[in-house]
Chain A
Amino acid sequence: MKKIMNRRDFIKIGGLGLGGLAMANPIFDWATGAVLTEADLQQTFNKIPTYCEVCFWKCAGWAHLNEKGDIWKLTGNDNDPHCNGRLCPRGTGGVGMYYDDDRLKTPLIRTGERGSQSFREATWDEAFDYIAEKMQKIAEEYGPECMALFSHGSGGKHFGRMLKAFGSPNITAPSYAQCRGPREVAFFATYGEGIGSPERVDIRDTDCLVLIGSHIGENMHNGQVQEMSDAIDKGATIITVDPRFSTAASKSKYWLPIKPSTDMALLLSWIHVIIKEEWYDKKYVDKYAFGFEELKTHVKDFTPEWAYGITTIKPNVIRKTAKEMANASPSVIVHPGRHVTWYGDDTQRLRAVSILNALLGSWGRRGGFYNPEKYKVAKLKLPKYPKPNKSWRDAFPDQYKLAGLALASGICDATIPTDERDCSFKGWIVNGTNLISTLPNPKNTLEAIQNLDLMVVIDTMPMEITGWADVVLPECTYLERYDNLRVSAHREPTIALRAPAIEQKYNTKSAWWMAKELSNKLNLKDYFPFETEEEELDWQLKQIGSSLKEMNKIGVKKFDRKFDDLYPLENLEEYEFNTNTGKIELYSTAMEDEGYDPLPKYTAHDEPPDGFYRLIYGRAPMHTFSRTANNPNLTDLMDENDVWINPKVAKEWGLKNNQEIWLENQDGVISSFPIKVRVTERIRWDSVYMVHGFGHTNKNLSRAHGKGASDAELITKTKIDPIMGGTGMRVNFVTFHTELPTQGGA
């Protein structure tokens, strides 16, 4: 593109004035100095590499500083496969996380009752002494294993190291049992490998994308939203199954407006059609699959007509969409979704998804599921961790046998003492997750917290969970610290550096520093041999032939794959799967061994009673979890959620757009705050929809307090998945109140 002259040299071709009179550039100096002029001249004076911490996608990017050294803007790193140079709205709005003056500013120690929100400011030393003392007491009385760490973010790695050194294996992220756990177990059972994060779906090269339980476009899974756009450009067919007219549904060739909770029937019916019509990839199935005949027998009665009666999807639509998938095979993806804890039979539902993908021959092939590779970064030379004597599993003997990771809800439940349990958890460290909003049935969470001897919360913002802590440690944002290298599994192995773009604000510190200090107090200093994280990173990087200097310049370093096996099954190569039989187990021997159904079955789930509507929750692309609800840049886009109600229902109830109503669920729990009504055709008449993450009760969140309503507080009923303990949360029903009901009344 040819160079253009400076704006001031541009010939003004519009608005002819009397040249003589015009004084285009006033002489008086006090008339100049407008902000627009500054923006014109604004350039990047310095660029610091980082990777985003707003959600879990961890896009690598750059923090741009202006000439005053302030953070000006955030942009994506062009070499990063997570974002391809483009951050999502949360990432771009990450500056708001730094500039939010409601941030936690100093360590706090509780003075009143737990939960009374009365704290006093403390020094870091005081806070660490308090924590160390209590932790040691718990270790003496009950054992170090009774300390648990809840984490969702980079800090978890540092506190995790400390906790493992302390002697506890009980480290959990709510993203397992409250989110994607079932699909990991299901795909592991079928293929011997999980899905991972980012999901290993080859959307940009697919010919057919089937979204059943995924709202790409409203969930802002950056790389996948980008690849879906690429797929649209290439003319790929999109099939969306969703009771709601999602953004993805609006871009789909087929939208199946399924009756909520009946997805299993549709999946089984698709399997039935694809087998009956022999549309499956015969060579692939013959070579790699185990249990085909059993599967064929199992699905023989799951006809589209049978499914129609359950799902309300017409039989010819079921057949047509099955044909579309088969035509595209093997370049087809039946997307496993991400948040899949819905009705308690979720592992089995994801088993059906994995089986369908196997029949279509998409696993391990272009346009289907690729084989990600991770770079092996040198491990720190640390002393061996002590062997723990017990773990959270001991609290649930004979339950959730296939759970691969610790259950956050499990640990929470196990904190409440019962007669049968040997030890309940006595101390929690919570970092980067607002458990009150994350775990279902908040009352249960609060009861668990009241049974603790020690409750430590490390966060950047005063969230609901911080109000229940004994000690609050203020973490600085990701823009103010180093963290572990991001080592991600993708088409190409990459590592990314997070370096601090700016000084730590207020009296905040990084999680690494906190974990190190705490380790020192607990006589575990050998587990943090380096003085600063900078030194630790530099050591690590030098082991792999790089350096902090290089990474500061490039931000993301790409490596070549060790093997040329991005699509290992493309040409039906020999392959041994990590399963009992060494094959793709359509019939799961692993499930059978533990006494679970080896083939997925359909179960009918509860329907809403009269006057109640199923509570469906989801995401908006400008927010994530409940943590962005106070970010000034993002509240500018959306500062509250609303409840989507079908016009027929609204008419019945006499509800108008923007009217404020209170929601009450089947257990009589009423939303703390009213929520605005959105009358829209995009939602079915038997359900209502709201975006998760609003309705904050912590008064210190000046922009988020009282805005919208919290879906989490209305999720008091769960259906637990017996296979891995996932908490199915779409089983709550709500009714409406146009006025705040008095205590005990309707």
Chain B
Amino acid sequence: MIEELIISGRMNPEIDPHLHAWPWYVPTDLFLAALVAGILIFSAFLTLHGRENEFPAAVKRAPILAPFLLGIALLLLFLDLSHKLYFWQLYTNIRWTSPLSWGAWTYLFLTPLAFIWAAIHIKTAFPNWTWPYKWIDTFIESLKGYRIWFAWAILGLSLTLGMYTGILLSAFNARPIWNSAIIGPLFLTSGLTSATAFILLNCPKGSNEKKLFCTVSLISLGVQTFLMIHLVMGYLSSDLAQVKAADLFLGGEFTTLFWILIVALGTLIPAYLHILYLKNIKIPVIVPSILIILGGFFLRYILVEAGQISHW
């Protein structure tokens, strides 16, 4: 029998008995960031391909909410800081080895762009919208001409942001659950999936856009499933710390949550519902969308929690 214990009474708050320094703020922030990234990626991508009028929901309506979601994400990130009055130090440095650093700078540049993008498209979502001052209206109209440039910038920054939500975790090799290169692509894909779900909520009934995004969602869910399987397989074929950590999902405390909430409700059932929809069976799109969004949120929540519990 091996008995290893700390005999000097260590009980540092948030560290012991196991790490829980990152409660719900961080996973929610990661989820919102990836969601926004996904929305903006689709919007920008389609704009660059000149199909913005074909897909008004994706390109013009969905991004309206994006800057506010981004604002909430930033607020949560700020609330998580334990030394809040010093948050501005984040912007006195840029550290390439720190995902949090270039993530913070990405937020900084992306937020105004998201606001501008939303402002440009607001008249599509709300045709009766008027700006309080005439000069704002003129200004926004003039920006419309630079749409393509904005689209490129937004595409680049959103891809960075989407990847950042995952790389932030995978950069920590001290936490076996996070120490997998798959987490970056997985979170990006999950972000895209959540974005398509969000876009679907904005699509007019029975439109082609809806059908297309259903397909996109289905493909995205497929890729996501593939990545999740490889994530777990990766744990099992890696070093002892990771094999033990994988137990959290295969019999440990997160097993039920992982398989039911994320895999079943968050991935497989929505995929099935999409297939039904594509076969012209009437499914209210709100059902798979909400499931996907919840699934995406819990994916991050559970991975952040489990990651903090796992250790060498």
Contacts and interface: CB of A to CB of B under 8 A. Distances in A.
**A–B contact, 8 Å CB criterion (strictly below):** yes
A89 to B, nearest CB: 9
Contacts of B94: 17-18, 21
A639 B9 contact: yes
Given A636-B9, A639-B9, A681-B3, A18 B93 contact: yes
Interface string A612-641: 000000000010000000000001111100
A22 B92 contact: yes
A46 interface: no
A70 to B, nearest CB: 25
A18 B92 CA distance: 9
A716 B228 CA distance: 63
B9 A17 contact: no
Interface string B181-219: 000000000000000000000000000000000000000
Nearest to B8: A637
A41 interface: no
Contacts of A451: none
Interface in B1-47: 1, 3, 7-9
A681 B1 contact: yes
Interface in A221-280: none
A666 interface: no
A31 B93 contact: no
Contact of A22 (B1, B3, B9, B93): B93
Interface in B69-124: 85-86, 89, 92-95, 97
Contact of A31 (B9, B85, B97): B85
Nearest to A30: B85
A26 B86 CA distance: 10
Contacts of A638: 7-9
A397 interface: no
A545 interface: no
A152 B3 CA distance: 37
B86 A21 contact: no
A561 to B, nearest CB: 40
Interface in A6-20: 15, 17-18
Contacts of A18: 93-94
Contacts of B1: 647, 681
Nearest to B1: A681
A21 B95 contact: no
A23 interface: yes
A648 to B, nearest CB: 11
B93 A17 contact: yes
Contacts of A636: 9
A680 interface: yes
Contacts of A639: 9
B3 A15 contact: no
B136 to A, nearest CB: 32
Nearest to B3: A680
Contacts of A23: 92
A31 B89 CA distance: 11
Contacts of B89: 26
Interface string B157-191: 00000000000000000000000000000000000
A18 B1 CA distance: 52
A637 B86 CA distance: 33
Interface string A395-409: 000000000000000
Contacts of B8: 622, 637-638
A635 B89 CA distance: 37
Contacts of B3: 680-681
Nearest to B85: A31
A647 B86 CA distance: 51
Contacts of A622: 8
B84 to A, nearest CB: 12
A647 B9 CA distance: 23
A590 to B, nearest CB: 45
Nearest to A640: B9
Interface string A31-44: 10000000000000
A396 B94 CA distance: 84
Contacts of B92: 21-23
A31 B93 CA distance: 17
A647 B1 CA distance: 9
A23 B91 CA distance: 10
B89 to A, nearest CB: 8
Contacts of B85: 31
Contacts of B97: 15
Contacts of A31: 85-86
Contacts of A635: 9
Nearest to B96: A16
A635 B1 CA distance: 29
B288 to A, nearest CB: 44
B95 A17 contact: yes
Interface in A669-686: 680-681
A17 B105 CA distance: 14
A636 B85 CA distance: 30
A639 B7 CA distance: 11
Contacts of A22: 92-93
24 contacts: A15-B95, A17-B93, A17-B95, A18-B93, A18-B94, A21-B92, A21-B93, A21-B94, A22-B92, A23-B92, A31-B85, A31-B86, A622-B8, A635-B9, A636-B9, A637-B8, A637-B9, A638-B7, A638-B9, A639-B9, A647-B1, A680-B3, A681-B1, A681-B3
Interface of B: 1, 3, 7-9, 85-86, 89, 92-95, 97
Given A18-B94, A31-B86, 6 more contacts: A21-B93, A21-B94, A31-B85, A637-B9, A638-B9, A681-B3
Q: List 9 A-B pairs, minimum CB-CB distance, nearest first.
A: A17-B93, A637-B9, A23-B92, A637-B8, A638-B9, A18-B94, A681-B1, A636-B9, A21-B92
